[in-house]
Chains A and B, each alone.
Chain A
Amino acid sequence: AQRVTQPEKLLSVFKGAPVELKCNYSYSGSPELFWYVQYSRQRLQLLLRHISRESIKGFTADLNKGETSFHLKKPFAQEEDSAMYYCALKGRTDSWGKLQFGAGTQVVVTP
């Protein structure tokens, strides 16, 4: 069965420090992986996806198939990065709108 695990419920970092949010998945095959973010009082929105291999707001994520991980990283955290972050997986044969989400990691960046 496919599963997405985010082991940290809460991550507290200082402004300017590096931040890494862990995401591990289980899936037999090659999934698509995403990171979604929810800022306070805002809706859930896509941050980045592994197939784009892009950097958004300074965040990057590399898909490691050997370790089945898709960790999210940013070298220098900013206060505006405080938010809830969800890792999500889509199976290759899943219907387009079907995503499997992790439980989420709350990031708090303190000045």
Chain B
Amino acid sequence: ETGVTQSPTHLIKTRGQQVTLRCSSQSGHNTVSWYQQALGQGPQFIFQYYREEENGRGNFPPRFSGLQFPNYSSELNVNALELDDSALYLCASSSRGAGNTIYFGEGSWLTVV
């Protein structure tokens, strides 16, 4: 079984630009969550997608948006990048249901300059 994969692993963007991060969920998983992890902090929940619809959102502004595709892969889009958006972005997948483990990807490091 393949794990959660994310791309790109590292990228640098300029303030005001837009970025798209991609995630392939683990085989058989239909739920994808995105997290932002700033340096020295724990991961913070951005949102979750289930059956191609947003199904829960954390305290992040609308310029953070996402998509889930029929194959359960997902994208995180961030518009109008700010310096504080510099962080590790983690994707996690699971099969919906109590007791199912959430599996994390290795993350995408975003630096905004």
The 6 closest A-B pairs by CB, nearest first: A95-B56, A97-B33, A101-B42, A97-B48, A44-B104, A98-B45
Chain B hits for A94, CB < 8 A? 56
B56 touches A98 (CB 8 A): yes
Q: Of A4, A46, A86, A98, which contacts B48 at CB under 8 A? A: A98
Q: What 0/1 readout, one digit per residue, does chain A (81-100) give for beta carbons within 8 Å of chain B?
A: 00000101000001111111
Chain A hits for B44, CB < 8 A? 101
Does chain A have a CB within 8 A of B21?
no
Given contacts A94-B56, A95-B50, A100-B45, 19 further A-B contacts (CB under 8 A): A4-B42, A43-B4, A43-B104, A43-B107, A44-B90, A45-B103, A86-B42, A95-B56, A96-B48, A96-B97, A96-B98, A96-B100, A96-B102, A97-B56, A97-B94, A98-B33, A98-B56, A98-B58, A103-B40
How many Å from the CB of A34 to the closest CB on chain B? 9
Does chain B have a CB within 8 A of A102?
yes
Chain A interface category by residue count: 20 to 34
Does chain A have a CB within 8 A of B41?
yes
Chain A hits for B43, CB < 8 A? 44, 86, 99, 101
Q: Of A45, A46, A104, which contacts B42 at CB under 8 A? A: A104
A97 touches B105 (CB 8 A): no
Chain B hits for A45, CB < 8 A? 103-104
Q: What 0/1 readout, one digit per residue, does chain B (90-111) give for beta carbons within 8 Å of chain A?
A: 1010101111111111110000
Chain B positions within 8 Å of A, measured between CB atoms, are 3-4, 31-33, 40-45, 48, 50, 55-56, 58, 90, 92, 94, 96-107
Q: Total A-B pairs in contact (CB under 8 Å)?
A: 60
Interface SS majority for chain B = loop
25 contacts across the A-B interface (CB closer than 8 A): A6-B42, A43-B4, A43-B107, A44-B43, A44-B90, A44-B104, A45-B104, A46-B101, A86-B42, A86-B43, A95-B56, A96-B48, A96-B94, A96-B96, A96-B98, A96-B100, A97-B31, A97-B45, A97-B56, A97-B102, A98-B56, A101-B42, A101-B43, A102-B42, A103-B42
B102 touches A46 (CB 8 A): yes
